[in-house]
Amino acid sequence: MKVAVLGAGAIGAYVGAALHRAGADVHLIARGPHLAAMRRHGVKILSPRGDFTAHAHATDNPTDIGPVDYVFLGLKANSYAACGPLIEPLLHKDTSVIAAQNGIPWWYFHRHGGPHDGHRIESVDPGGAVSAVLAPRRAIGCVVYAATELDAPGVVRHLEGTRFSVGEPDRSSSARCRAFSEAMQAGGLKCPVEKDLRNDIWLKLLGNISFNPISALARATMRQMCHHGGTRHVIQTMMRETLAVAEALGCEVGVSIERRLAGAERVGDHRTSTLQDLEAGKPLELDVLLTAVIELADITGTHVPTLRTVHAISDLLAHRTAA
């Protein structure tokens, strides 16, 4: 199995290291000091489950790699539309693309069935720009339940969780999903093939849609947001509204809001990816989290006043950060 990790940051390098340990032919695509460190010393994983180092091929030039069986996308979703020159050299006719993104993916209604089948969500696929680069037929959905951070260039700290759920947009149990799942499990990760990954998407989104923007607005960690009474109430309200949109689309999350909050609390003083991006001066990945759900609320007629309020404020922050 030949795998390219496009965007081998904290999550991408962690997955690449695990697949390399399982014997896959892994190629990490990165840049800057992080790439230089991986070339010199490999990827060092620091984890409560045991530290290890993987010496996978690392490059900033996808043409050095050529076509692969799987592209694992570790890029932020707001980079997808512009990633054509990077991903094109990696594709053959059957290459699968596994996007480890938060929020609502561009392929969400691809082979969905029902009244919205084939509908394009403008906020995540503006004008079809993402679908033009990442054909939905190539997509394997992936929901990440692992928390990682870059401790230093070439050094990934694994904080908790090893689950990477995958699934086909059409809900089938495909050979390509099963093969990727087996390779991930051989590398020490959990990788169940879910019949309907959209349920997992909403479960993960329940936290991301609330904690991520609030963490950026308040400059707060997971523990701090959970322990502050007012913020906890806002987050609970955002979660209730998000569940209403999911239910309107026929999805069942199967986890209570209190259980979701308890899980977030256990993470402790972890900074969300949105807060990390804000502190680093990077664009904020809010369209796939908040904007998309409000768009889905509009097409399902779901009332989401708190989501709209938080979106308005965080959208201003995102525009000021990008300016």
Domain final position from 145, 172, 195 = 195
Give the pLDDT mean for 248-269. 90
- Position 185 scores a pLDDT of 98
Does pLDDT of 187 surpass 90? yes
Same domain, 203 and 275: yes
Does pLDDT of 323 surpass 90? no
Same domain, 242 and 311: yes
Cβ–Cβ < 8 Å for 103, 78: no
Same domain, 298 and 259: yes
pLDDT band at 271 (very low <50, low <70, confident <90, very high): confident
Instruction: Provide the strand spans (E) within 60-203.
Output: 70-73, 96-99, 139-144, 147-152, 155-160, 164-167
Render pLDDT for 77-93 as a digit per residue (tens, 0 to 9): 989 999 999 999 999 99
Render pLDDT for 164-185 as a digit per residue (tens, 0 to 9): 999 999 999 999 999 999 999 9
Same domain, 213 and 123: no
- DSSP states of 17-61 as a string? HHHHHTT-EEEEE--HHHHHHHHHH-EEEE-TT--EEE--EEES-
Q: What is the pTM of this model?
A: 0.93
Same domain, 92 and 239: no
Same domain, 132 and 242: no
CA separation for the pair 141, 87 (Å, rounded): 17
For the chain, what is the domain count? 2
Half-sphere exposure of 316 (CA within 13 A, CB side): 6
Render pLDDT for 6-17 as a digit per residue (tens, 0 to 9): 999 999 999 999
CA angle 120, 126, 127 (to 5 degrees): 80
CA separation for the pair 268, 159 (Å, rounded): 10
- Position 22 scores a pLDDT of 96
Domain that holds residue 293: 198-322
- Position 265 scores a pLDDT of 87
Give the pLDDT mean for 144-154. 93
The tokens for 192 are 């169940």
Same domain, 186 and 37: yes
CA separation for the pair 190, 51 (Å, rounded): 17
Does pLDDT of 5 surpass 90? yes
Domain final position from 195, 216, 250 = 195
Same domain, 171 and 76: yes
Same domain, 169 and 252: no
In order of 10, 239, 268, 295, the CA distances from 301 in angstroms are: 38, 17, 36, 10
Same domain, 51 and 113: yes
The CATH number linked to 235 is 1.10.1040.10
Averaged pLDDT of the chain: 95
Same domain, 238 and 181: no
- Pairing type for strands 164-167 and 139-144 reads antiparallel
Same domain, 182 and 216: no
Annotated active-site residue 204? The verdict is: yes
Q: What is the CA radius of gyration of the chain?
A: 19
Domain final position from 170, 195, 220 = 195
Coil, helix or strand at residue 66:
coil
The CATH number linked to 79 is 3.40.50.720
Catalytic residue, candidates 44, 190, 195, 204:
204
